[in-house]
Amino acid sequence: MAEAPKPPQTPQTIKVLEIVSRPDNFWRAGRQWTKEPQQVPVDDFTDAQIKALKADKNLVVLEKTIEVKAEA
């Protein structure tokens, strides 16, 4: 008996903060930031950490929604 075809998977999305340091490297919220953009899920931070990251003049913080591939 043949297996029924699997339905196509819809992409899942998550909210991330994309963070870039203005100096070569900078520490905030227990992490080191560099000039290379880093995308970190919003859920990895507390509300206080998000507020501190966004308020820091040494960082550029953008909120984004990205697609993540579901594991097979």
Q: Is residue 2 domain-resident? A: no
- Burial of 56: CB neighbours in 10 Å, binned 0-12, 13-18, 19+: middle
Q: Is residue 14 domain-resident? A: no
pLDDT value of position 4: 67
One digit per residue, pLDDT tens: the chain, 72 residues?
567 676 666 679 999 999 999 999 999 999 999 999 999 999 999 999 999 999 999 999 999 999 987 665
Q: Is residue 12 domain-resident? A: no
Whole-angstrom distance, CA of residue 55 vs CA of residue 19: 12
pLDDT value of position 27: 96
Q: Is residue 43 domain-resident? A: yes
pTM, two decimal places: 0.79
Q: Is residue 9 domain-resident? A: no
30: tokens are 């227990």
30 to each of 1, 22, 44, how far by Cα in Å?
54, 17, 11
Q: Is residue 3 domain-resident? A: no
pLDDT value of position 35: 97
Q: Is residue 11 domain-resident? A: no
pLDDT value of position 33: 98
Q: Which domain holds residue 33?
A: 20-68
